[in-house]
Amino acid sequence: MRPKLSWNSSKVLPLLAEVRHLQGRLLGSMESLGFDLRNEANLAALTADVIKSSAIEGETLNADQVRSSIARRLGLEFAGTISASRDVEGVVEMMLDATQNYSAPLSKKRLCARHACLFPTGRSSMRKITVGKWRSVEAEPMQVVSGPMRRERVHFKAPAVDRLKREMTAFLK
């Protein structure tokens, strides 16, 4: 089963070309900054990525903890030694895998490892969840919802369990 994704190349390619041009200019400017300033800029960008990505999910992370966790993982000692919570460490590990290893193929093992990073305690809020595995028959269907209780709006409902393996295989291909 092939994903049903299409785009209009005549609209997308000029935008991608402009982004690539601006990216090249930015990289050229960063080359002139020197090693320490380049590392600082990279650390600031990664920190912002982690914080903003988590904010989309309604999570507010401590910026100093995020910065310190990223700096430690990148071997940058100048950023401080603030201890980070398990949640921050997990999100940072997942985001660094996504941003630093983007050319590596996405696999079930990698996807499940990222899931385990996001839920190190095996819980989502007060609910126990299956971590690092496909959803089982017993699990409630996953939904993305918003709004007050009893008046939630469903934005997305995950495929039924009997379709999950087939859908994930198609996605990973």
- Please tell me which residue, 131 or 125, carries the higher pLDDT value: 131
Burial group, residue 47, by CB count within 10 angstroms (0-12, 13-18, 19+) = buried
* Segments making up each domain of the chain, as ranges: 135-173
Average pLDDT, the chain: 86
Label residue 91 by pLDDT band (50, 70, 90).
very high
Label residue 20 by pLDDT band (50, 70, 90).
very high
With a cut of 60, say whether residue 50 has pLDDT above it.
yes
Say which DSSP state 77 is in.
G
Q: What is the pTM of this model?
A: 0.68
